[in-house]
Structure 1
Amino acid sequence: MAGTPNFDRRTFLKLSAAAGLAGMAGVTSATPGRDPGPKKDEILVGVSKTADSPQAAVEQHVPGNAEVVHENKSLSYAAVKFPSNAPSHARENFIEAITKKDEVKYAEENATLEALYTANDPKYGSQYAPQQVNADSAWDTTLGSSNVTIAVVDQGVMYDHPDLSSQFGSDKGQDFVDNDNDPYPDVLSDEYHGTHVAGIAAGTTDNNEGIGGISNSTLLSGRALSEGGSGATSDIADAVEWAADQGADVINLSLGGGGYSSTMKNAVTYATQQGSLVVAAAGNDGRRNVSYPAAYSECLAVSALDPDETLARYSNYGDEIDVAAPGTNVLSCWTTSTEYKEISGTSMATPVVSGVAGLALDVYDLSPSDLRNHLKNTAVNVGLSSAKQGSGRVDAANAVTTDPGSGGGGGGGGSTTTTIDDSLSSNADSDCWSYTWEYSSPSQVVVELSGPSNADFDLYVNEGSGTCPSTSTYDYRSWTTDSNEQITIDNPDTAADLAMMVDSYSGSGSYTVTITEKE
């Protein structure tokens, strides 16, 4: 049913405006000679895309003892490396100074993220995870399809493993640690996490070999973690962007740590806009604190269950959790000989969900937003709080047999879309809009901004209050380095109209805001 929302518009000046410059499209890989893994001496500087290039905008402000060592033009950031013996206040002073420059949107440490698994005594054993999520029943409908691609951004994957080789095409992936196009693990005895994750999501099923993965989807490996299981934000963000550009339908991130990062947020926003569902691990601290990148609204956050479907003691939980999946003692592929071993963690729960997503995509043509809703709507309540299970334990059989339009598992299945077209005249211009809800209890609202390519517009949203957000006070912000922004809100607060602001960080031109409300 078409909606008939009402809009009120007011245009006002920002108290302080900053003109910006930004980079061209495209990406350059890590500069040869960069050390693999963590890059604790680097600062990532995000630059508005109206500049000639991120490197050109940043290097004029870099002190003599530092240098620009890497840039990503699609995500529009540059990495500045300081000497390892430089005092910490040198980097802090640089962040403070560079963020005052008109063309710079943010500066942050190149934080280290780690694989989110909890090692135990690996042992052979029977699988239970596919049965727990009813994958065996789903396989009566589909085993999955090579037309669906799951990208594993992780350690390298042993793509010649007997249970994985048929899931890889001619393009095995990309290595963002060693800067080449071969994502094979460097040290097989140490680098098993990516292979284990890949086997859970898409180890070949029904081939008289080893284990059965959740789906027979095509695999793509983005090696962004070293053999030690850790990696720099820049390598992981570059890998996420690359996977989206390769057409990955699902991007699996069994990793986390480092806190909020604008660089990583921009990467998962970019991937979502390119049509990829980003599935991420909640974290293994055993506390109420969902790890980033899972905590970003664009990501489908996954908590881990024990075999008895209680929350695993190591699993993080919180309001950001979307679904749960088995994560304890999950059997999958290993990198020594043709072994199969059990390990535990939200890292293991995440590819279960990615595999279920792959099965659903073989049956239904769904956008990332609709696929996210479908997995949540077809999840099974296992008796935990929403902070621990989200919408419930993911269920493969429900996901492939429930028509997304039927609203099975919750929601009425309807949606309404409304667009707003207007323009901003300069970087001192902003528009505020209010949207009247069509549904009394929508399951989700997606707000998208499409603006001019030669400007940098940002999107801010408030829910529940009806008050217009500002650049400093808001509930949600999409603040990438270009004018394409997206905000997804699950179970939005409809106590008042949705309030949205389109702000020009730099430049002028026409824009379109699209609001999609779903029952």
Structure 2
Amino acid sequence: MRLIKVLTLITALFVVLCFSLTGCIKPEVYYSLSGQVVPYFPETSAHDSFQRTAAYTPIFSSKDIEQGFMSNQFIVLFDRGFDSTIISGVSGVEILDEFFSRDGSVGYAVVKTNDPSSLSGIEGVKSVEPEKIFTLQSEESVPNDPLYSGQWNYPMIQMPQAWTIAKGSSTVVVAVIDSGARLDHPDLEGIFLPGYDLINDDDDPTDYDPVKSHGTHVTGTIAAKTNNSLGVSGMTWGEYCTIMPIKIFEAGETTAGILASSIIFAVEHGAKIINMSLAGGDDDVVAAAVKYAKENEVLMIAASGNKPYQRYPALYDEVISVGAVDNDMRWASYSNYGVYLDLVAPGGSSSAQILSTGYSTDEGNTYSYMQGTSMAAPHVTGLAALLMAKGYAGKDDSGEEIIRKILRETALDLGESGWDEYYGFGLVQAYDSLTYEEERRPLLVQILSTSGEVIRETEVNPDGSFQFNGLTENYIKIRVWRDFNGNEEIDKGDLIGYYGYQESDHYLVWNPSLDNAETLSYLSSGSYELTNPLHFFPIIEFSE
């Protein structure tokens, strides 16, 4: 009897050892697995790694604003591999600010000098130009009663119909580069991811402008909380934390260097859509930042501008340029036009402005009317976020951005037949866009074998949840992936994450592989829910 017990014990131990080490014996199981997918965002301390080696707060004189650039201040754009050390010894040159993208492809310094020619011809200096000024593109009015019936702009672009199809997603991160936002506004609370203030170089992007609250207004159009019996409605209903507020304005003006930094910040902190309700002149460093964003599969939308000499960054090919129409679908007289214009959206007029969230010193958080191409752009940004939530992203086989193509093909033709310089391809139409047939590239959760083979996959729900039923594998790994360029390879610009890979220090080298994934074991049948969320973040190439 004792011998039988010993043999039985030895056999049991052998089975356990064999199973645990080699998997040669696998119990039959049948289980379900659910979890939550959320965008990864580094802790505040990780902002210290943001590649800004100096910081300054620009002071704008009336002369600077009138001439459109900072007096005796210049941006020095470096060739890759060079930095400010190559100009630090030049007589009469004071370095005010310096910034680099993480991959080293964009680097510049802001300098003060009376002799910019002394910097030309130095090896590693790509260009030297005056630091241009960018301004917000809106006009404000007094706050008014917060009624949806006053938001004439939404029926004009089919939003009531569109909301029956999509109301946003917790997995689409939108950066709003502006004057910040009122983080405590009751119609905006709960929609914000961590942001940044590039004017004061801190992590508080609160909109303190007591007159315009431009960024608060723009943000409300994109994502004000909707159907909550309070205030106004937003394009994406404001149900999730998806807005990254990046503050670059305090008094209506900012510099090209700060704008470029904000674009790169947005890219390197996970935004896939950027709204820029601002305009200024052509500038090499802004152009480089825009190119960097495009290379990382980030969709950019910008106001066409309210003044003829302020057209950038909307004029760059990589950016969707948005002009404005009034409440009668007529071209708004302040809206810039020309060969670069892509689309138009409601921007308002002096008699019928755009109602959104606002702030004033007298009333605090409130609601306000504004007009301008600044107000038109966030309509397109909000619609782009809805399209991305529905699985549209990246470029098609011809290299055109899929969302840009959908917006163009479904726009309501206004003015002359076809494209024209006042309306572009026409007025955006939300319902028609969301029902347009085009290749989808949704965010997927994949069940992998321990060797990396895809066993099952499913699309992530709008609220970030997912569930698998009928799983039978004992040992698995889990990946979340959005293949932006559709090449079926995990590469630059894609969103990627593995369960178990979520520590804040990974932000500096985010390009996880299968080896970083935790191996999960399920040895009995039942229903299981992941303990921790599954984080994702864009793959960014980093310099060595």
TM range (shorter): 0.5 to 0.7
The answer to whether the aligner puts 1:55 opposite 2:76 as a matched pair is no
Mapping for residues 31-180 of structure 1, pairs under 5 Å: 31-32=54-55, 34-35=57-58, 39-51=70-82, 54-60=83-89, 62-64=90-92, 66-74=93-101, 75-82=106-113, 90=114, 93-94=115-116, 96-120=117-141, 123-124=144-145, 126-169=150-193, 171=194, 173-180=195-202
Alignment equivalent of 1:235, drawn from 253, 258, 271 = 258
Alignment equivalent of 1:387, drawn from 406, 412, 421 = 421
Q: What are the Cα deviations for residues 238-264 of structure 1, in whole angstroms up to 9, with x where unaligned?
A: 01110111111211110112x210000
Give the C-alpha shift of residue 30 in structure 1.
7.0
Give 2:306's aligned residue.
284
Give 1:347's aligned residue.
374
Q: What are the Cα deviations for residues 390-440 of structure 1, in whole angstroms up to 9, with x where unaligned?
A: 11111111121112249xxxxxxxxxxxxxxxxxxxxxxxxxxxxxxxxxx
Q: What are the Cα deviations for residues 61-92 of structure 1, in whole angstroms up to 9, with x where unaligned?
A: x323x31121112221111124xxxxxxx2xx
Give the C-alpha shift of residue 32 in structure 1.
4.7
Q: Give me the TM-score of the superposition, normalised by structure 1.
A: 0.66
Which amino acid letter does the alignment assign opposite residue 113 of structure 1?
A: F
Q: 1:122, 1:343 within 8 Å by CA — same for their partners in 2?
A: no
Q: What are the Cα deviations for residues 323-358 of structure 1, in whole angstroms up to 9, with x where unaligned?
A: 100001010000133321111000000001100101
Q: Secondary structure at the match of 2:126?
A: strand
RMSD value, Cα:
2.1
CA–CA distance in structure 1, aligned partners of residues 356 and 403 of structure 2: 25
Give the C-alpha shift of residue 119 in structure 1.
3.2
Q: What are the Cα deviations for residues 147-168 of structure 1, in whole angstroms up to 9, with x where unaligned?
A: 1111110101111111111211
**Relative to 1, partners in 2 of residues 1:246 and 1:346: Cα closer, same or farther, differing over 3 Å?**
same
The answer to whether the aligner puts 1:397 opposite 2:431 as a matched pair is yes
Q: Secondary structure at the match of 1:207?
A: coil
Give the C-alpha shift of residue 308 in structure 1.
0.5
The answer to whether the aligner puts 1:303 opposite 2:323 as a matched pair is yes
Give the C-alpha shift of residue 27 in structure 1.
4.6
Which amino acid letter does the alignment assign opposite residue 361 of structure 1?
A: M
Alignment equivalent of 1:245, drawn from 253, 256, 268 = 268
Q: Secondary structure at the match of 1:351?
A: helix
Which amino acid letter does the alignment assign opposite residue 430 of structure 2?
A: A
Which amino acid letter does the alignment assign opposite residue 386 of structure 1?
A: D
Q: Secondary structure at the match of 1:166?
A: coil
**Relative to 1, partners in 2 of residues 1:277 and 1:33: Cα closer, same or farther, differing over 3 Å?**
closer
Bigger Rg, structure 1 or 2? 2
Give 2:357's aligned residue.
333
**Relative to 1, partners in 2 of residues 1:396 and 1:49: Cα closer, same or farther, differing over 3 Å?**
same
Q: 2:55, 2:96 within 8 Å by CA — same for their partners in 1?
A: no
Q: What are the Cα deviations for residues 8-66 of structure 1, in whole angstroms up to 9, with x where unaligned?
A: xxxxxxxxxxxxxxxxxx75337355346685442110111132xx2112223x323x3
Identical-residue share of aligned pairs (%): 30
CA–CA distance in structure 2, aligned partners of residues 123 and 186 of structure 1: 20
Which amino acid letter does the alignment assign opposite residue 407 of structure 2?
A: L
Give the C-alpha shift of residue 383 in structure 1.
3.0
**Relative to 1, partners in 2 of residues 1:160 and 1:36: Cα closer, same or farther, differing over 3 Å?**
farther
Give 1:372's aligned residue.
404
**Relative to 1, partners in 2 of residues 1:55 and 1:27: Cα closer, same or farther, differing over 3 Å?**
farther
Give 2:339's aligned residue.
319
* Most deviating of 313-322 and 201-210: 201-210
CA–CA distance in structure 1, aligned partners of residues 153 and 56 of structure 2: 41
Q: 2:273, 2:385 within 8 Å by CA — same for their partners in 1?
A: yes
- Structure 1: runs of 5+ lacking an equivalent: 1-25, 83-89, 407-445, 447-519
Give 2:207's aligned residue.
185
* Most deviating of 157-166 and 210-219: 210-219
The answer to whether the aligner puts 1:356 opposite 2:380 as a matched pair is no
Give 1:487's aligned residue.
none
Which amino acid letter does the alignment assign opposite residue 387 of structure 1?
A: E
**Relative to 1, partners in 2 of residues 1:121 and 1:207: Cα closer, same or farther, differing over 3 Å?**
closer
Give the C-alpha shift of residue 175 in structure 1.
0.2
Which amino acid letter does the alignment assign opposite residue 330 of structure 1?
A: I
Q: 1:155, 1:191 within 8 Å by CA — same for their partners in 2?
A: no
CA–CA distance in structure 1, aligned partners of residues 312 and 274 of structure 2: 15
Give the C-alpha shift of residue 273 in structure 1.
1.4
Give 1:268's aligned residue.
290
**Relative to 1, partners in 2 of residues 1:30 and 1:377: Cα closer, same or farther, differing over 3 Å?**
farther
Alignment equivalent of 1:201, drawn from 205, 222, 225 = 222
CA–CA distance in structure 2, aligned partners of residues 357 and 33 of structure 1: 34
Q: How many pairs does the alignment contain? A: 361
Q: 2:56, 2:97 within 8 Å by CA — same for their partners in 1?
A: no
CA–CA distance in structure 1, aligned partners of residues 389 and 133 of structure 2: 35
CA–CA distance in structure 2, aligned partners of residues 130 and 313 of structure 1: 21
CA–CA distance in structure 2, aligned partners of residues 105 and 352 of structure 1: 37
CA–CA distance in structure 1, aligned partners of residues 328 and 190 of structure 2: 33
CA–CA distance in structure 2, aligned partners of residues 164 and 255 of structure 1: 21
Q: 1:281, 1:303 within 8 Å by CA — same for their partners in 2?
A: yes
CA–CA distance in structure 2, aligned partners of residues 293 and 111 of structure 1: 12
* Most deviating of 320-329 and 209-218: 209-218
Which amino acid letter does the alignment assign opposite residue 389 of structure 2?
A: D
CA–CA distance in structure 1, aligned partners of residues 85 and 435 of structure 2: 53
